Amino acid sequence: MANLSALSHERLEELERMLEQQRAELRDAKKELEDFSYSVSHDLRAPVRHISGYSQIILEDYRDKLDPQCLQYMESIQGAAQKLGAMLDGLLKISRLGRQELQRQDVPLDRLVCDVVQDLTVPGRNIE
């Protein structure tokens, strides 16, 4: 019986060591993800600001000189740059949230679905 108890104790210690190793690996992976998110969001901010800024200048200074197709392209570029900027802001928030405790809250799914459908809506494409 003592032999069985010693085996169980050794197995328990082995499991605890394995669990601690997995916790350490998880902490390392979480830290790498936070660092990556922060770096990517910061490194991409300047180019997105340039795209947004220059497209805005073109729209303000040359709107009346652009043909309708070109105007649509510029407005699309401007909108996409703004969305990308919002996504980068989201990445920054995620990198910061990784260091905070999670808080539960209700999510209005109907609004979320409408936003996704609006994001996917392209002229000539029907979405149901």
Tens digit of each residue's pLDDT (9 = 90 or more) over 45-93: 889 999 999 999 999 999 999 999 999 999 999 999 999 988 888 877 7
pLDDT of 40 over the 70 cut: yes
* Predicted pLDDT of residue 57: 94
Do the Cβ atoms of 77 and 51 come closer than 8 Å? yes
pTM metric for this prediction: 0.54
The pLDDT value given to residue 61: 94
- Domain extents for the chain? 2-97
Tell me: pLDDT of 29 over 80: yes
Of all residues in the chain, the percent with pLDDT exceeding 70 is 92
For the domain with range 2-97, which CATH number is right: 3.20.20.140, 3.40.50.1970, 1.10.287.130, 2.40.50.140?
1.10.287.130
Work out the pLDDT band at 98, boundaries 50, 70, 90.
low
